[in-house]
Structure 1
Amino acid sequence: MTQHREIEEISFASSLDGAREHALWYRAAEGAQAPLVVGLHTWSYDRFNQLEHMLPLCRERGWNLLLPEFRGPNLKSNPRSTEACASELARQDVLDAIEKVRELGGFDAKALYLLGGSGGGHMALMLAAHRPELWSAVSSWVPITDLSAWHRENPNYAENIEACCGGAPGSAASVDLQYGLRSPLNYLAELSRVTLSVHHGRFDPVVSYRHTMNLVTGLERHEPKNFFFEIFDGGHDIRYDVAFRWFDGLRKNGKEQGSRLTG
């Protein structure tokens, strides 16, 4: 259990396979009228992974926070690895956790924000693609957008990707299908419907910034109306303050004001 007394550990049955799943929930004082931030853990961790980063930012705003686990880390050591990594079961876990929060206290459905980095950035894009109408805004940082490409690029994660997808790319048609089904690059039309912001460090040593650039190139062909991206001077980082300031601006129905240049 977490040491934060205001955090509740909630459990619920998966609406797909009946498995008992868990999440962490911070209920704001004005919970039913307040936004809900759904924070996604990174590739190798669990629901506690983002607590220290996201809870203070939600607490100071009076916002709700939900930290689902969605079948655990995307690791070979996870006995449910094939159910992790943006599988249908993992995606449904997040949706079921949101419904559980709705039952327990509610939130402002017009301010449902999704935030994740690295493996969480990958999952954020997958959730956005599969339920584009649900999210008020999605902020994805240093995401993997093509699992087959990442398998080639980063041998440190190759065996874990194989554990999730059932083998190496090219080893079987069924395996290649899993790589495709779990890669955001294959859902460009759906992602073009989302208010989406994607950020990537130019010097990311874990997931190349080209994952985001390839996503950008593909999405632009669909002429998205609310897609924003940034290649920033950094590495494999998530900048929580930037993500929350973006949510703040959307909450106020405004846009960040800059100085318009002339000439």
Structure 2
Amino acid sequence: MTAGAAMEEIHIPSSVDGSPEPALWFHPGGPDPVPLVVGLHTWSYDRFNQVEGMLPRCRERGWALLLPEFRGPNLSSNPRAQEAAGSPVAVRDIYDAVELVTGRSAVRDDARFLLGGSGGGQMALLTAAASPKSWRGVSAWVPITDLAAWHAENPEYAGHVAACCGEVPGGSGELSDRYRERSPLHYLEDLAQVNLSVHHGRHDDVVSYHHSWKLAQELEARGAEHFFFEIFDGAHDIHYDTAFTWFSNQLMKELSQAGRLTG
């Protein structure tokens, strides 16, 4: 891998099945370790759909950017659909990619950030839950938190959800477990340990804001100390500048007192 101005395509051998999984990689160059952003693609797309939103912001900050694919789009047309959509092997793909690039490039161990929206928000939460202390900050936008509920709520995506999980929800115990393991709402104790920022548009007609609202209530009930939540005036959106500003603030803790009121 070489450092440069553009992203390069790399392939990471899966630690689960040996499959060469594609990813896009950018490093600003130089010998000094830099922060790393891991950007996760949305439900219906692949590793390329976050380049425009994330690469310019990493370039201007001198940060590294990794865009893994984790088994491809969560669509019935994907021949590996059952390995996608938040499966354990898809989560493992993300960690395999992080381990490869951090083993070969100058990246700070204490400054790894995770960012995704929609299906990528779902993956950000699942990935964070798998290793809560691996991330300096995790920013999830308009995430799906309950896959079985979303199957019932959005007919446009219901067929794709069923293809990824094998059947429509409500069947066998094994099938129920498959939906649960891909739903962040079932990893609350782990997510309560994450430095986590969740955002959802009040007028989202793709994934209801209730997905994030319920997650927020459950994490609050568990006393999560580093959980931040926003319902914003918008729809199925991700605000990149907000996410990157929050990441920057995690590296500059003194800023947390800058706007404090005194009376």
Question: Normalised by the size of structure 1, how large is the TM-score?
Answer: 0.95
Change (3 A) 1:77 1:247: same
In the alignment, the residues of structure 1 paired with residue 260 and residue 235 of structure 2 have an alpha-carbon distance, to the nearest angstrom, of 28
In the alignment, the residues of structure 2 paired with residue 195 and residue 254 of structure 1 have an alpha-carbon distance, to the nearest angstrom, of 17
User: Which 4+ stretches in 1 moved above 2 angstroms?
Assistant: 29-32, 253-259
Change (3 A) 1:31 1:174: farther
Correspondence 1:111 to 2:106 = no
1:76 alignment counterpart: 76
Change (3 A) 1:97 1:32: farther
Structural RMSD (CA) = 1.3
TM superposition shift of 1:181: 0.7
1:127 alignment counterpart: 127
TM superposition shift of 1:254: 3.0
Change (3 A) 1:145 1:93: same
Alignment of 1:16-35 (within 5 A): 16-30=16-30, 32-35=32-35
Over the matched positions of the two proteins, sequence identity in percent amounts to: 55
1:8 alignment counterpart: 8
In the alignment, the residues of structure 2 paired with residue 243 and residue 10 of structure 1 have an alpha-carbon distance, to the nearest angstrom, of 26
5+ long unaligned stretches in structure 1: none
TM superposition shift of 1:5: 6.0
Which moves more between the two structures, 208-217 or 248-257?
Answer: 248-257
In the alignment, the residues of structure 2 paired with residue 153 and residue 144 of structure 1 have an alpha-carbon distance, to the nearest angstrom, of 11
Change (3 A) 1:27 1:188: same
Q: How many residues align?
A: 259
Which moves more between the two structures, 101-110 or 213-222?
Answer: 101-110
2:210 alignment counterpart: 210
Letter of the aligned partner of 1:260 in structure 2?
L
TM superposition shift of 1:32: 4.7
Per-residue CA deviation, residues 115-158 of structure 1 (Å, 9 max, x unaligned), is 00000000000001111111111000000000011011101000
5+ long unaligned stretches in structure 2: none
TM superposition shift of 1:8: 1.3
TM superposition shift of 1:51: 0.3
TM superposition shift of 1:225: 1.0
In the alignment, the residues of structure 1 paired with residue 259 and residue 235 of structure 2 have an alpha-carbon distance, to the nearest angstrom, of 26
| Contact 1:31–1:107 under 8 Å retained in 2 | no
Per-residue CA deviation, residues 217-252 of structure 1 (Å, 9 max, x unaligned), is 111111011100000000000000000000111112
Q: Please give the secondary structure, in 1, of the residue aligned with 2:75.
A: coil
Letter of the aligned partner of 2:62 in structure 1?
G
